[in-house]
Amino acid sequence: MGNTGIASIAAYLPRLRLARKAIADANRWANPALAAQGKGHRTICAHDEDSLTMAVEAGRRCLGDAPEPALEIIQFASTTPPFADRANSVILTEALALPFDLRCADVTGFLGCGVTALIGALENGRPALTVASERRMARIASAQELALGHAAAAVVTGAENPIARFVATHSTAVDFVGHYRSAKAPTDYLLEERWVRDEGDMKIAPPAIETLLRKAGRDAAAIDHVVIAGVGRAAARQIAGKCGFAENRLIDPLDAACGDTGSAHALIMLCHALEQAAPGETILLANVAQGCQTLLFETTDAIADRPDIDTVRDQLDGGVEDLNYLRFLSFNEQIDVDWGIRAERDNRTALSAFNRHRKTATSFIGGRCEACGTRQFPKGRCCVNPDCRRFDTQIDEPFSHKIGRVKSYTEDWLAVSANPPFIYGNVAFDDGGVIMMEFTDCEPGELSVGTPVRFVFRIKEKDPKRNFHRYFWKAAPVGMAKVR
């Protein structure tokens, strides 16, 4: 396969962790069996996050690991995209402030779409960014409600200084129906777990893995790290044993700490494996979904120089526990909260105005005066510096990568918010510029004047009448994330 491989990889796990015990306790009256599964946590989106916002964050982290590659292809893979007929990959591209002359594609339809998109990018060989992201929902009081998780992962592929070289791939296509979600259903329909494992997973995965090893001319005993995704923990161990892998070579499926994150999960586990790998080691990935998608990689010397920042383990350990099950249901719009008369307004987006200001809203591009150097947001014809005031001297100035500081803030319990209070205020930048904007990823009482903040792409408002989401950037207290 030449030198094509993975140049950079990163995961994004939302900061909130819903304790499974909170789910089990709330629904014990209806399903007492949940108590036995009520250990650990699952990742959950905040009220202003979805599969697209998580994809943007994963993409920023992935591109932030190394100098920006000359990307040619952008792929967004998800079974839960916010739009069915609007290119989510194009929104992703604009939010990352990438050039417009790219080929964008949305890949969806089954939980193997993330790995399938990655295989396509590797076989193509052209520089590509592939992002898989999921915000799957489950029925209230179901076992799946405890099992699922929300997350995203991004991979840059190409021939430029890869950290892991692409060795071989093999895929099989089997219409084994272990679960399904029809076009209009918000949640999955599940089949019996043991039957799925014995008649599906155990019969589909081993032959695909064995074929991959034959194609690559490798022996199972020579594989250093084994990623088996799309199946339960017990099934993964059985598949590994049947294929001849030692159990200690299996990468932690991470289900206890974050849940099953759907099409993103295999890539998150791959990221976790690469974070542990040394140069010259082999990583086998097998994802079971309507067949089996397999990949084999070999790490290069470049992996030793990969920044050890914001790893999967860092994010798992750095989550914020949330015990509020009702808030989780509200975030998922599974209960209808009465937000009062103030919420009774039309949230229609003026798409003509949005089109004129796309770079401002989606890419978070402001302006810098070429005459005096003053930075401002939004960009305008006139410089805001009272000592300059020149017209038509503004050039584009990206703000998404900057670090700002809280200049003022308000916690407004009367304004409408899906997660009260509505926290907003002024953010000032050391290199110039002040912006009035909303704060996120913080609780009441956590902000103070001078708090450093970074900027995240989030849902700004929802228009339930027309099913349209409007996105913008918000200020969040600085964590450990390294973003582009």
The model's pTM is: 0.96
Q: Locate tokens 């099913």: which residue? A: 467
Q: How is the chain split into domains, by residue range?
A: 5-331, 402-477
Cβ count near 250 (within 10 Å): 20
- Residue 320: closest CA among 43, 48, 21: 43
Q: Give the integer Cα–Cα distance in Å for 236 and 253.
A: 9
CA distances (Å), origin 114, targets 21, 110, 157, 286, 331: 30, 9, 14, 12, 25
At 480, is the pLDDT very low, low, confident or very high (cuts 50, 70, 90)? Answer: very low
CA-CA distance, 37 to 142, in Å (whole number)? Answer: 11
Q: Which residues pair with 260 in a beta bridge?
A: 148
CA–CA separation, 435 and 428 (whole Å): 7
- Tokens 């000032």 found at: 428
* Partners of 77 in beta bridges: 107, 132
Q: How many CB atoms lie within 10 A of CB 12?
A: 30
| Class of domain 402-477 as given by CATH | mainly beta
Q: Are 105 and 74 in contact (CB under 8 A)?
A: yes
DSSP secondary structure of 391-403 = BS-EEEEE-TT--
123 sits in which H/E element: helix 113-124
Beta strands 434-438 and 422-429, pairing class = antiparallel
Contact 14, 122 (CB under 8 A): no
Q: Is 11's pLDDT higher than 50?
A: yes
The span from the CA of 478 to the CA of 474, in Å, is: 12
pLDDT value at 68 more than 70: no
Give me 307's structure tokens. Answer: 């920044």
Give residue-wise pLDDT tens across range 235-281: 999 999 999 999 999 999 999 999 999 999 999 999 999 999 999 99
pLDDT band (50, 70, 90) for residue 483 = very low
Label residue 122 left, alpha or beta by phi (over 0 means left) and psi (-120 to 50 means alpha): alpha
263: three-class secondary structure by DSSP: helix
Instruction: Provide the pLDDT for residue 481.
Output: 42
Structural contact between residues 453 and 478, judged by C-beta atoms closer than 8 angstroms: yes
Q: Please, which pLDDT band fits residue 430 given cuts at 50, 70 and 90? A: confident
User: What does the block give as tokens for 173?
Assistant: 């296509």
Q: How confident is the model at residue 473 (pLDDT cuts 50, 70, 90)?
A: very high
List, in order, residues 6 or more apart from 189 with CB less than 8 Å away: 179, 180, 181, 182
Tell me the CATH class for 5-331.
alpha beta
Neighbours of 163 (CB within 10 A): 24
User: Do the bridges between strand 282-288 and strand 291-299 make them parallel or antiparallel, or are there none, so unpaired?
Assistant: antiparallel
What is the C-alpha end-to-end distance of the chain, expressed in Å? 30
Structure-block tokens of residue 396: 């584009």
Per cent of the chain over pLDDT 70 is 97
Helices (H), 79-112: 88-95
Does residue 98 carry a pLDDT above 80? yes
In which band, very low, low, confident or very high, does the pLDDT at 428 lie, cut at 50, 70 and 90? very high
- Look over the chain and give the mean of its residue pLDDT values, rounded to a whole number: 94
The pLDDT value given to residue 475: 98
Q: What is the pLDDT of residues 125-167, one digit of tens each?
A: 999 999 999 999 999 999 999 999 999 999 999 998 899 999 9
| CB-CB contact of 16 with 165 (8 Å) | no
